[in-house]
Amino acid sequence: MKKKLIAILLAGAMVALTACGGGNADSSSTPSTDTPASDSQATAADDAGNAGDAAGAGEEAAATGELVDGKFAETRHITVEVYDRGNDGGSDPTNNMYTEFIKKGMLEDHNVEVEFVKVPRWTEVEEVNNLLAAGTAPDICVTYSYPTILTYAEMGGVLDLSGYVEDYKADLPNLWDWLGETNMYWDKDPVNGTLWAIEGKLAVNNRINTFVRKDWLDALGMAAPTTTEEFEAMLIAFEENKDTLLGADADKMIPYSVSYDVGWRAATLIESFIDPDITDREYYVNGYDDRKLTQNGTKEAVRLLNKWYNQGLMWDNFALYGSGDTTEDDMMKAGYVGAFTHNWDYPFRNGEDSINANLQRNVGEDAYFVAIDPFNDSKGTHTKYVSSTAGDRKIFFPHTNDEPLACMLYLDWISDPEHIQYLQIGDEGVTHNVLDSGAIQTVAASGDAIMNSGMNIDYTITCNGLHLATEELTKLSQAYNYAEIDPDVVSQADVIAQTNAVPAKNVNVGTIEAEANIGDTLSAKRDQVYDNAVIASEADFDSVWDSMMEDYLSSGGQAIMDERAEKWDAVFGNSNMLP
């Protein structure tokens, strides 16, 4: 009896469950079918974008009709993505004096209410995925990864911006002035004209530098190395003199430090091994991986790293710590690291918590990193492959965005030179001082005025790098832009970062289908190739490199190169260089 009852009960539960399951499916289908259907305006706008200019004309009239003096009659509400960097002692990225400035300005100028949505900086792609899948992504999204946007776009998850940027042009003077055709249309598909993202502008395209401890060079009576051989000799000198340089901590000495991301953290070395006369075609075909894994000199560059690793000139454990881990930075701050390669201004970032400021506190006034330019290529120059004005952050609107005009106005507002300047330097006496020369000097702020990202780049999404109201002022202030850091050291790093710099060119031959859905897999594999090759024994280096590389290529790397070559030939014919 009892058993029977339980059976009935369970069966009943099963029925209820199926009903519920079905019910749930129905109910969940309602809002989703709703979204495209119910806001028919949004769909219409969407279609207008897709269909191109024909429908665009009608749309334009409607758009300008909505605005009186650049303002909406009724208050609109938009959401904007902002990175949460989780800084120690930082301010709330969605609510601080800078967000207030933006919110107030947008409400006054355009009658648009702005709400910020924070997304963790180091897991942004995953987080935005989840938000998009849930239909709750911010109206304005920012990411560094174009393949990610392309993947969403192919699923129909991204608005085509080509219609909006054209139709609303008259309402977007600042945006067009600042980004120009280059950045606005950088990602425009040459075949069907779709535009899934707008490229934010790099105001400073310095990319990467190698740094060395100035006081160690002085202590050993060495000059800054200018060739790869001299650099190697310097590393060996650091290792041999570790007792002098570090005393009791001698066995913590790390002459040259990289992280698991070898392709980035030894980029100046790797780039120096690329043939300086490389053709545009070859560079593009091998250009999918931004860590230059398949470029023509990379293997030999890594062979050199492998030699250094086996000589004990590098950090044993670099591969064991993942993205965002601070162990390596802490070792730099504690003074155990002799040289490293990183973002051109890395040791200057974060004011009082910068690597240089920490070193000076922990080790002594003379202890700090300076930029050097040690890696010569086969022609004896120091070629560095830097970005163009584009190729940095990309802005896109998810399909759930039903306020495209308000969002475009936001981008315009945030590109206004005065607004950029205020967000970058804040209030006088609080976040900056004006020097006698007129230069703006950044000072360490506290409380609500703390900028979570240097120069508030997380808010100035169309602008990365210092850009003040006039060019002279920007130039003058660049070196004073790092609180607690000697301006001369910054200027010198700036000069080196621009020495023999080759800006990226835009090769737009249409969508490379092999690149969809594969970015993360390949970049993980890329890191594995680099890491395993660096730590292999010198005898095994070739076999490790070749077998790992084969895995990379067979997992999609080769397919991308083949398709890139094919599409290049289709567009540029036999020419190996861009027109």
Partner 1 sequence: MAKAKTSKPVVEKKDSTRSYLKRYWQLYFLLSLPLLYLLIFKYIPMVYIQIAFKKYSIIQNVWQMPLAKNHGFEFFIKAFGNNDFRRALRNTVVLNLLDLVIGFPAPIIFALILNELCFKRFKKVVQTVAYMPHFLSWVIIYSLALQLFAPGEGLVNMAIERLGGSSIPFLNDAAHWIGTYIGVGVWQNFGWGSIVYLAAIAGINSELYEAASVDGAGRFRKMWHITLPGIKPTIVVLLIMNLGNILGSNFDRPFAFQNNLVMNVADVISTYVYRTGIKGLQFSLTTAVGLFQSVVGVLFLLAANWLSRKLGERGIW
- Residues in the site for partner 1, rule: CB under 8 A? 1, 5, 8-9, 11-13, 15-17, 19-21, 24-25, 28-29, 32-33, 35-36, 125-126, 129, 132-133, 135, 148, 151-152, 155-157, 260, 316-317, 319-320, 322, 399, 517-521, 524, 527-528, 531-532, 535, 551, 554-555
Q: Smaller CB distance to partner 1: residue 132 or 386?
A: 132
Shortest separation between residue 31's beta carbon and partner 1, angstroms: 9
Shortest separation between residue 182's beta carbon and partner 1, angstroms: 29
Q: Letter for the amino acid at 294?
A: T
Q: Smaller CB distance to partner 1: residue 73 or 133?
A: 133
Shortest separation between residue 356's beta carbon and partner 1, angstroms: 24
Residues 6+ apart with CB under 8 A from 436: none
Q: Smaller CB distance to partner 1: residue 36 or 190?
A: 36
Shortest separation between residue 243's beta carbon and partner 1, angstroms: 18
Query: What is the bridge-based pairing of β-strands 432-434 and 384-386?
Result: unpaired
- What one-character-per-residue DSSP string does 115-178 give? EEEEEEGGGHHHHHHHHHHHT---SBEEES-HHHHHHHHHTT-B---HHHHHHTGGG-HHHHHH
CA-based torsion, 426, 393, 297, 267: positive or negative: positive
Give SS3 for 397: coil
Provide the CA 184 distance to its chain's centre, in angstroms: 18
Q: Smaller CB distance to partner 1: residue 38 or 575?
A: 38
Q: Smaller CB distance to partner 1: residue 60 or 239?
A: 239
Shortest separation between residue 436's beta carbon and partner 1, angstroms: 49
Q: Is 500 left (phi over 0), alpha (psi -120 to 50) or beta?
A: left
Shortest separation between residue 473's beta carbon and partner 1, angstroms: 42
Give SS3 for 52: coil
> What whole-number distance in Å separates Cα of residue 406 and Cα of residue 228?
53
Q: Smaller CB distance to partner 1: residue 5 or 54?
A: 5
Contact 231, 375 (CB under 8 A): yes
Extract the tokens encoding 322. 């993942």
Q: Smaller CB distance to partner 1: residue 316 or 566?
A: 316
Shortest separation between residue 156's beta carbon and partner 1, angstroms: 5
Q: Letter for the amino acid at 218?
A: D
CA-based torsion, 359, 361, 362, 365: positive or negative: positive
Shortest separation between residue 414's beta carbon and partner 1, angstroms: 27
Q: Return the residue matching tokens 């790293």.
A: 305
Q: Smaller CB distance to partner 1: residue 36 or 58?
A: 36
